[in-house]
Amino acid sequence: VRRIVVVGASLAGLRAAEELRGQGFDGELVVVGDEPHRPYDRPPLSKQVLAGTWDADHLPLAVAHEGGLDGLDVDWRLGTRATGLDLATRTITLADDDVGVELAFDGLVIATGASPRWLPGCRTDLAAVHTLRTLDDSLAIRAVLDTTPQRVVVVGGGFIGAEVAATCRSRGVDVTLVEMLPVPMGVAVGDEVGTLMADIHRDHGVDVRLGVGVERVDGSDRVERVRLTDGTVLSAALVVIGIGVVPNTAWLDGSGLTVDDGIVCDATGQATSGVFAAGDVARWPSRRYGRSLRIEHWDNAIAMGEHVAQRLLAGSGGSAGSGDDGDVYDPVPWFWSDQYDRKVQLAGVAAGADEMQVVEGSMDERRFVALYRQGDRLAAVLAMNRPRPVVTYRRQIQAGASWSDALATASG
Ligand code: FAD
Ligand code: NAP
């Protein structure tokens, strides 16, 4: 392997590049990214950056490698979009003005992440209607918050919606949160905790509207009103749309890679010989959960970026591994979300759990640890403002602990 190309200059792509160098790869390493910025961290975009307490200079992703980012000896192609992949010639095409430029590779890591969905039927030409994924998005939303008399409608009660609503309230802005499902964040944390999160938002003054959608977003040049499907009309100086993301795979159309809501990989993270995917864009069969997963969280982008870098080097003969445990990517997913003074952490997969039990603290105090059961196994642990036990239960999930073992730990 002489030249490895990484497409996507963000968390998964950077961690893959770092790991390649860390494992001793001394060939040519090219990282292609369509944003103009060097790799930066996204979680603060809905939190500190939007709040106005951090600026862009807080965001560059740190590199443990000696010599920092420059020590990685990467040929950065930033502000450059990959537009095609030809597996037969092992080249990718880069958009360079109107002329496509071919770049050959021996190994390829695809870490192109995901892009926000636009609200169906919503005009794209109205000022102050935004999605939030990039630094530029966050600064644009912040600029509206800094200048306009404020009334914000947040569409979508997932992670973006909940965090943006919390940050806007911390700035003293009037916020209405509109979610089509009866419970916000319910898909990720389950209905009981989702209901609690809705209460926490209400207690902080958010007007939470559940089970209702957006019919239209109106205004002349700027957004002025949002009409809901129940006929309510909300005035709005800013609309933030957070209704989920679509994996960035359009550039792979016709390449022969299998794409099905993400790049379909084998259990090692390999899409086809010498081509790997990592982070939000990658889908792989999880042995642990017995189904295919695509995880849209920070920790997974790091772990999978590192994993596929190792597999790429180990399997440079063509196969990513023998299928032994060390070759297989089988993490216990983990994320956190900060809203107001509450920090939620979840390890495992709570979606589809059969039961949830609070084992420490209480939901009334809004400081607790809850365990999720699937069959006779511990499937997930969620902690609100009680971070420490997450480490213990995550280890148990990793080891395949039974539900009764987990409850014994809780009571012991
Ligand atoms: P991305 O970070 O999406 O990076 C992909 C990169 O590839 C982008 O720069 C993109 O522009 C580029 N790209 C796409 N297509 C092409 C192409 N054709 N050619 C070249 N480049 C391309 N997770 C948590 O666990 N906790 C949090 O608190 C949290 N907060 C978040 C807050 C916000 C506002 C957002 C947006 C995400 C948050 N996340 C959080 C999720 C986490 O940031 C993502 O899971 C992580 O960024 C995924 O990393 P990635 O490298 O796979 O993809
Ligand atoms: P998300 O977490 O998937 O939530 C989207 C929410 O919007 C879902 O509840 C969805 O309901 C709802 N929705 C869909 N269509 C709607 C519509 N037309 N009107 C109203 N609601 C609608 O996605 P997100 O909040 O947009 O976040 C984007 C990405 O950033 C995700 O990858 C997320 O993981 C990541 N992120 C993570 C964190 C964190 O981990 N702390 C923080 C911020 C962002 P349905 O389920 O019915 O579609």
Residue 11 CA: which ligand is closest? 1
Buried/exposed 266-301: b ≥16 CB within 10 Å, e otherwise: bbbbbbbebbbbbbbbbbbbbebbeeebbbbbbbbb
Query: From CA 135, how far away is CA 60, in angstroms rounded?
Result: 11
Which atom, in ligand 1's list, is nearest to the CA of 39?
9
284 φ, ψ (degrees, to nearest 5): -145, 155
CA of 185 to the centre of ligand 2 (A): 8
Q: 339-384, pLDDT tens digit by residue?
A: 999 999 999 999 889 999 999 999 999 999 999 999 999 999 999 9
Q: Quick check: 316 pLDDT over 80?
A: no
pLDDT band per the 50, 70, 90 thresholds, residue 315: confident
Gyration radius (Cα) of the chain, Å: 22
Which atom, in ligand 1's list, is nearest to the CA of 336?
26
DSSP state of 386: -
CA of 356 to the centre of ligand 1 (A): 30
Which atom, in ligand 2's list, is nearest to the CA of 280?
32
Q: Is the CB of 244 under 6 A from ligand 2?
A: yes
pLDDT at 318: 46
Q: With both helix axes pointing from N to C terminus, report the angle between 298-314 and 11-22 in degrees, rounded to the nearest 10.
A: 40
Mean pLDDT of 304-332: 81
Which of 6, 248, 263 is the best mutation target for the ligand 1 pocket, counting ligand atoms within 8 Å of the beta carbon and taking the most?
248
DSSP state of 300: H
Q: Quick check: 126 pLDDT over 80?
A: yes
Give the list of residues 6+ apart from residue 266 with CB closer than 8 angstroms, or none: 284, 285, 320
One-letter amino acid for residue 179 of the chain = E
Q: Quick check: 325 pLDDT over 90?
A: no
As a whole number, the mean pLDDT across the chain is 95
Beta strands across the sheet bearing 214-219: 214-219, 223-228, 233-235
pLDDT at 324: 63
Q: Is the CB of 186 under 6 A from ligand 2?
A: no
Query: From CA 271, how far away is CA 320, in angstroms rounded?
Result: 10
Long-range contacts formed by 322-330: CB under 8 A, 24+ apart: 323/267, 323/268, 327/267, 327/268, 328/267, 328/268, 328/287, 329/267, 329/268, 329/269, 329/284, 329/303, 329/304, 330/267, 330/286, 330/287, 330/288
- Decide: helix, strand or coil at residue 240: strand
DSSP state of 124: S
End-to-end CA distance of the chain: 52
Which of 239, 243, 334, 338 is the best mutation target for the ligand 2 pocket, counting ligand atoms within 8 Å of the beta carbon and taking the most?
243
CA of 376 to the centre of ligand 2 (A): 30
Query: From CA 73, how far away is CA 66, in angstroms rounded?
Result: 11
Which atom, in ligand 1's list, is nearest to the CA of 13?
51
Q: 64-99, pLDDT tens digit by residue?
A: 888 889 999 999 999 999 999 999 999 999 997 666
pLDDT at 321: 57
Q: 220-275, pLDDT tens digit by residue?
A: 999 999 999 999 999 999 999 999 999 999 999 999 999 999 999 999 999 999 99
CA of 9 to the centre of ligand 1 (A): 9
Q: Is the CB of 296 under 6 A from ligand 1?
A: yes
CA of 245 to the centre of ligand 2 (A): 7
CA of 279 to the centre of ligand 1 (A): 8
Mean pLDDT of 102-110: 97
The number of angstroms, rounded, from the C-alpha of 6 to the middle of its chain's C-alpha atoms is 19
CA of 311 to the centre of ligand 2 (A): 31
Range list of H helices, 240-351: 298-314
Mean pLDDT of 151-179: 97
Give the list of residues 6+ apart from residue 45 with CB closer than 8 angstroms, or none: 132, 133, 134, 135, 137, 138
Q: Quick check: 156 pLDDT over 60?
A: yes
Mean pLDDT of 182-208: 96
Q: Tokens 């002349």 — which residue? A: 220
pLDDT band per the 50, 70, 90 thresholds, residue 319: low
Q: Quick check: 120 pLDDT over 50?
A: yes
Q: Is the CB of 39 under 6 A from ligand 2?
A: no
For 179, counting Cβ atoms within 10 Å of its Cβ (0-12 exposed, 13-18 middle, 19+ buried), the class is buried
Q: Tokens 């790991």 — which residue? A: 19
Q: Tokens 């100086």 — which residue? A: 237
From atom 46 of ligand 1, which residue's Cα is the shortest distance away?
298
CA of 158 to the centre of ligand 2 (A): 4
Query: From CA 210, how far away is CA 228, in angstroms rounded?
Result: 11
Q: 28-71, pLDDT tens digit by residue?
A: 999 999 999 999 999 999 999 999 999 999 999 999 888 889 99
pLDDT at 121: 87
| Nearest one of 192, 227, 197 to 212, comparing CA atoms | 227
DSSP state letters, 143-173: HHHHHS--EEEEE--SHHHHHHHHHHHHTT-
For the CA atoms of 359, 361, 364, 365, the dihedral, rounded to the nearest 10 degrees, stands at -160
Q: Is the CB of 8 under 6 A from ligand 1?
A: yes
Query: From CA 408, how far away is CA 406, in angstroms rounded?
Result: 5
